[in-house]
Amino acid sequence: MLKLGVNIDHVATLREARYRGRERGEPDPVEAALICEAAGAHGITAHLREDRRHIQDRDVWKLREVIKTRLNLEMANTPEIVAIALKLEPGIVCLVPERRQEITTEGGLDVARQWLALRDTRQRLNDAGIDVSLFIAPDPVQVEAAARVGSQFVELHTGAFAEHFNRKRERQEELDRLLAAAQQAHAAGLRVNAGHGLNYQNLGVLFQVPHLVELNIGHSIISRSITVGLATAVREMLVLLEAYLA
φ and ψ of 146, to 5 deg: -60, -40
Please answer whether residues 97 and 105 qualify as being in contact, where contact means their C-beta atoms are separated by less than 8 angstroms: yes
**CA pair distance 171, 223, nearest whole angstrom:** 23
**CA pair distance 30, 12, nearest whole angstrom:** 9
- Rounded to the nearest 5 percent, the helix, strand and coil shares of the chain are 50, 15, 35
Selected catalytic residue, list 10, 54, 186, 196 = 196
> Which residues lie below 8 Å from residue 174, measured CB to CB, with a gap of 6+?
138, 160, 161, 164
Annotation marks residue 47 as catalytic? yes
**CA pair distance 146, 181, nearest whole angstrom:** 11
37-57 per-residue burial string, b: 16 or more CB within 10 A, e: under 16: bebbbbbbbbbbbeeeebbbe
Selected catalytic residue, list 42, 47, 54, 186 = 47
Annotation marks residue 74 as catalytic? yes
- Please report, for residues 17, 161, 181, 204, the alpha-carbon distance to residue 168 in angstroms, rounded to integers and kept in the order given: 37, 10, 20, 14
Name the 3-class secondary structure at 4. Answer: strand
Calculate the CA dihedral of residues 133, 207, 2, 156 and round it to 10 degrees: 10
- Amino acid letter, residue 192: V
Selected catalytic residue, list 74, 98, 155, 174 = 74
Catalytic residues: 47, 74, 196
